[in-house]
Amino acid sequence: MIFQQLFDTKSSTYTYVIASEVGREALIIDPVFELVETYVSLLDRLELRLVKALDTHIHADHITGLGALRDITKCITVMGERSGAEVVSMRVKEDEIVDIDGIGLRTMYTPGHTDDSYSYVMEDRVFTGDALLIGGTGRTDFQNGDPYSSYDSLFNKLLRLPPEMLLFPAHDYKGDTVSTIGYELQNNPRLQVENAEQYADIMNNLNLADPKMMDIAVPANKSLGKSIDQFVRPGESLSAEELCRQCSSGELVMIDLREKQERLRDGWIPRSLHIPYADIEDQAKSGGILDQIISDHPNCVILYCAYGERSAMALDTVREAGYDGLRHLAGGMAAWSKSGGEIVFD
Ligand SMILES: [Fe+2]
């Protein structure tokens, strides 16, 4: 496995690049905006294709690199379902899998530092964001933080992971790079408490100043950089209502770009085909499924995904491959279900 831990000195943030091997798909966790070029050149050097970028929560101390990485690499931006970020391609729930080829990360909802904090668990390691730090825990005094839910996330979830499991946090201010669940359980001063009240007492008396970047970072991280509209040309967007009207003609070919897990969870538009976003580039090549569909049904293909972000980027990819005339469902399945569009599960 390729595993790189990168550090932003300004915000003391750790960012992780993960891939199963050279030349394969990669995932990045908690990227920092200022270091996006560093990540991109690292990915280039290792011949990795960035497929997914995720934030463990909305950060208050730095601007996320998610939007910039999406704009450069057309990767899928991932956050937990409780996230207030407006522009995210994919939202994951508790106990779902974020996967790239050869690697899967299980989602664990660990609120307390913020109400949108998620940890991501691999076989031998866990990425805890700010829910659990080395020798500390994430503050609980803003962004809907709550010491009691932090206690619950720690003692009923994270600390129940195997003691030998490696712990990789989103920050460290002392130069530590890695710990284990067992070591923290024994030695982390915040965890040496008898009950939730004792823990809340510690957390409620930290008297920390707000992060310097907070007023800038939180709103910026909620909007995640540039608008997705940059990938869409005039006439390529279809609203859910328009799609509903045009659907009845039976001429349209709708292609669902989401992953299997999302389809099983949220259903899909009747009579639509399925090509996951990660396969679009390959399938648009001569002889690919998408190539065949476009040739058979020119000007009738509608791409859709969860929120309209992957489908917008796919329009750009397909255009680069030489095809025009495709459209996408603006707002994706979220807009479709809001407008009362029919959804099926089999
Ligand atoms: Fe944080």
User: For position 12, what pLDDT does the model report?
Assistant: 95
Structure confidence at residue 226 (pLDDT): 57
The reported pTM is 0.93
pLDDT at 210: 85
Dihedral angle sign, alpha carbons of residues 151, 153, 154, 157: positive
- Rounded to the nearest angstrom, the distance between the alpha carbon of 220 and the centre of ligand 1 is 14
Q: How far is the CA of 37 from the centre of ligand 1 (A)?
A: 23
161-202: per-residue pLDDT in tens?
A: 999 999 999 999 999 999 999 999 999 999 999 999 999 999
For residue 90, report the distance from its CA to the centre of ligand 1, in Å. 20
Q: What is the mean pLDDT of residues 244-259?
A: 89
Surrounding residues of ion ligand 1, Cβ less than 5 A: 130
pLDDT at 224 > cutoff 70: no
Residue 257 has pLDDT above 70, yes or no: yes
164 in Cβ contact with 180 (< 8 Å): yes
DSSP single-letter state for residue 117: -
Q: How far is the CA of 142 from the centre of ligand 1 (A)?
A: 10
Taking only the tens place, the pLDDT of each residue in 92-130 is 999 999 999 989 999 999 999 999 999 999 999 999 999
Distance 228 CA to ligand 1 centre (A): 25
Q: Which residues are 221's β-sheet partners?
A: none
Strands 125-129 and 253-256: unpaired
pLDDT digits (tens, 9 = 90+) for 57-98: 999 999 999 999 999 999 999 999 999 887 789 999 999 999
- Taking the C-alpha atoms of residue 256 and residue 79, their distance in angstroms, rounded to an integer, is 20
**Å from CA of 186 to ligand 1 middle:** 24
For 275-334, how does the pLDDT look when each residue is reduced to its tens digit (9 = 90+)?
999 999 999 999 999 999 999 998 899 999 999 999 999 999 999 999 989 999 999 999
- Residues 63-87 as b/e (b if ≥16 CB within 10 A, e otherwise) read bbbbbbbbbebbbbbbbbebbbbeb
pLDDT of residue 70: 94
